[in-house]
Every structure is written in C-alpha cells, then in structure tokens.
C-alpha cells in the first residue's frame, strides 16, 4: 500500500473505517493547534544496549480534551515507517477513536524520520545512529507520558503492526500504566518467518554496491525498490495480488513501486534500524519466561486483532499470548493479509472495546468481498 511507505500497514487503516495539551516540559510555550506536530526534547536516551541516542527528541501530536481526572488518555504509537500524521484521519467523532471522548496522544516511534532517527540526527547520522529496540521505543514513550505530559496512568494504549508490538511491550513493561490495550496485527515475538522477511529486506539494501558498508556512494533507489518489492510480496496474499494486479498491468504496478521507493543513505538507515528493532523482538525472552508465563503478568484488559493470512507479522504468537489469559481475539478473515483492516470494518469493534472491554468477545469478521 503506497500511502504507508515501506509496506506500512496502517495507512491501511484508512479504511479501517473507520471508523488542551501541554506543549513542553517547562510549559512556557503557547498551546499548539490540535493535532499539530510537537516535539519533546528529552536529552540523551539511554538504550537497552547501554549506548545512548544523543539529543533525543520525540515527535508527537495531541487531539481532544484531557478531562479533569486525566482518565481519558489514549496513547497510539506509529507502525513501521509510519508517522503520527498518518493516524490523524482515524480520529474524530464516528471514527476509530472519538476525540470528543478521548485525549489522544499520537507518538512517532524512534527511527521514523520525525522522532530522532538515522536520517535526521546531527551527532549520530546514518549508521552511526545506534541500534535500538522495541523496548527502547516504549521507554521513550513512557518518558513523554510521565515527564512531559505529566501522566501517571492512561485509559488505553493501542497500535497497529509495529505499533501493536509496542503495545505488547508496554503492557508487560508497565503493566499498571493502562486500563485497556489493543494490539492490531502486532506480535510479542518475532518468529523465524518474520526474521526471514526483515533480514531479506535489510540485505537487499546492504548488498547494493552503492550502500558501501553504510557509507553510501550514490543513489539507493534500486536497493530500496528491491526491499519494497519484498515487502509487497508479504503485505497481502498471493490471491489478493493476483486479483488486484492483472498480468497485463504488472509492469505499471512495478514501476509505481519503484517510483515510491526512493531515498538516500538516511532513508535506508531508518529502514534498517527499525527492522533490526523488530528482528530483536522477543518479549518473553527479555523476561526469561515462556510466552504463556509472560502473558499472565498482564493487568490491562487486552484485545488482540489478527489475520490468519498475515505474511508480514506472523499472528501465531499474538494468538497464543491472548489464549494464555483468555483475552478476546478478533480474527479478520481476508486475503488482504496484513492489510485486512483496509478490507474489513474492524473500527466499530475497536471503539466498543475502548468504551466497554467486557462487552467484546472473540469472533471472526469476514471480508464482504469474499462472500
């Protein structure tokens, strides 16, 4: 899907159907317009590895009104390559999250080109930018919530794809911080199939002579195009691609992919570092527990949304995690695979769970195009 560059599942949500805020730590600036891009300057961010991201700044946007008890906050971090602005169209009355009810904080994940990233760091540009993890993303987001927004608890946290991975990390790292959590097309653990995909995309970039061991000597358009082609092979399913791209249209489809997959060493470095974060995802392993044992540490009401035909993020770990604690699972039956939210209207179910978790139970939603 083009709008979510780098095979990003969620602008995918564009059809998910869908469905006054502090401006600085010192609080001296005027309140920004609703939904405007903001930045939290957090100094150096210490990473799990022991290294640090220098002069770390985290991008975010806020929408809606914070109630007097600070009980209506919803945090929503971005997916792989996605930016907080991509989520804006899912917010508002009658959409996935109603901003007349919730104070929504959209957060740009590390390495997305808005928050501190290889492509925009002055002191640690490109591959001198240290590798980071999904856990590091969550730690940065927690600092935003606590240090900048002065929150000690939120009503909900949700995310799609890599945002769903962050959701799993959040509910185990800070189990008392939220009441409700929703992971959509996410996972608590990268499987060998996932790792094969992310490794192939990284190597597609690194094997290009122009990459020059992280010191690019020219355009990386070819490498980024190959990485995008690999991603598109996994974004949906064979039956979906055959149905939506007739053989006679393949050349124009491929040309369109290549046109939208261009960039320099900074863009390539962002893609590599975020994929490395996903490659290292193993929340049970971090805790030294089995997946089922880790799940039992969850205190939030959890909803898991998956597609059995998701070839981009294997749904099995998320399904097993939910089964271990009896959390409801919404199964999206669609050849759209990782993009199933663009083919099935799951927004109403998500909105219902946010308002009343106990009223949502496991069910399968079918793609109307296949009936």
Whether 134 and 173 share a structural domain: yes
For residue 29, the model assigns a pLDDT of 57
Give the per-residue pLDDT at 80.
Answer: 98
Residues 344 and 220 in one domain: no
Does residue 293 share a domain with residue 153?
yes
Structure-token pair, residue 239: 């039956």
Residues 269 and 294 in one domain: no
Q: How far apart are the first and last CA of the chain?
A: 23
What per-residue string of b and e applies to 213-233 under the rule 16 or more CB within 10 Å gives b? eeebeeebbbbbbbbbbbbbb
**Which CATH number goes with the domain that contains 113?**
3.40.50.1820
Q: Is residue 248 part of a domain?
A: yes
- Together in a domain, 98 and 159: yes
Per-residue confidence (pLDDT) for residue 220, from 0 to 100 = 96
Same domain, 274 and 295: no
Look up the domain containing 61 and give its range.
11-24+31-189+289-370
pLDDT at 32: 86
Q: How high is the pLDDT of residue 5?
A: 41
Give per-residue pLDDT as tens, 194-207: 999 999 999 999 99
**What was the pLDDT predicted at 370?**
75
Residues 234, 259 within the same domain: yes
Q: Residues 362, 272: one domain?
A: no
Which residues does the chain have with pLDDT short of 50? 1-28
**105 shares a domain with 69:** yes
Based on DSSP, count helices (H) and strands (E) in the chain, helices before strands: 11, 11
Question: Which residue has 């740009």 as its token pair?
Answer: 108
pLDDT recorded at residue 371: 55
CA-to-CA dists, residue 329 to 172, 179, 295, 318, angstroms: 18, 17, 14, 9
Query: Do the Cβ atoms of 107 and 77 come closer than 8 Å?
Result: yes
Does 4 fall in a domain? no
Total tally of structural domains belonging to the chain: 2
- Are 67 and 107 found together in one domain? yes
The model's pTM: 0.92
Q: Looking at 278, 306, 329, which one is the last position of a domain?
A: 278
């Amino acid at each position: 899907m083009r709008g979510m560059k780098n095979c990003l599942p969620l602008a995918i949500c564009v059809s998910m159907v869908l469905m006054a805020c502090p401006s600085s730590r010192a609080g001296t600036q005027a309140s920004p317009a609703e939904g405007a891009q903001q930045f939290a300057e957090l100094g150096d961010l210490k990473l799990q590895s022991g290294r640090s991201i220098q002069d770390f700044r985290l991008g975010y946007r806020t929408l809606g009104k914070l109630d007097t008890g600070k009980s209506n906050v919803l945090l929503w971090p971005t997916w792989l390559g996605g930016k907080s602005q991509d989520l804006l169209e899912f917010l508002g009355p009658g959409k996935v999250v109603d901003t007349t009810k919730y104070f929504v904080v959209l957060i740009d994940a590390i390495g997305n080109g808005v928050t501190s990233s290889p492509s925009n760091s002055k002191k640690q540009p490109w591959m001198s930018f240290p590798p980071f993890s999904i856990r590091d993303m969550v730690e940065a987001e927690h600092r935003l919530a606590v240090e900048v927004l002065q929150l000690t608890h939120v009503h909900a946290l949700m995310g799609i794809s890599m945002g769903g991975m962050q959701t799993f990390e959040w509910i185990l790292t800070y189990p008392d911080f939220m009441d409700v959590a929703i992971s959509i097309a996410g996972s608590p653990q990268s499987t060998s199939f996932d790792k094969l995909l992310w490794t192939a995309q990284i190597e597609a970039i690194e094997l290009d002579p122009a990459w020059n061991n992280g010191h690019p000597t020219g355009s990386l358009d070819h490498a980024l195009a190959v990485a995008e082609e690999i991603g598109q092979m996994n974004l949906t399913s064979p039956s979906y691609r055959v149905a939506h791209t007739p053989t006679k249209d393949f050349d124009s489809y491929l040309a369109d992919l290549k046109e939208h997959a261009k960039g320099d060493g900074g863009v390539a470095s962002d893609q590599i570092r975020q994929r490395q974060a996903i490659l290292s995802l193993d929340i049970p392993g971090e805790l030294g527990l089995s997946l089922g044992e880790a799940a039992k540490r969850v205190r939030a009401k959890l909803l898991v949304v998956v597609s059995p035909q998701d070839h981009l993020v294997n749904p099995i770990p998320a399904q097993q995690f939910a089964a271990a604690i009896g959390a409801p699972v919404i199964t999206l039956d669609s050849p759209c695979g990782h993009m199933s939210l663009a083919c099935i209207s799951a927004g109403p179910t998500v909105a219902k769970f946010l308002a009343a978790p106990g009223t949502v139970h496991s069910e399968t939603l079918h793609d109307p195009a296949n009936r």
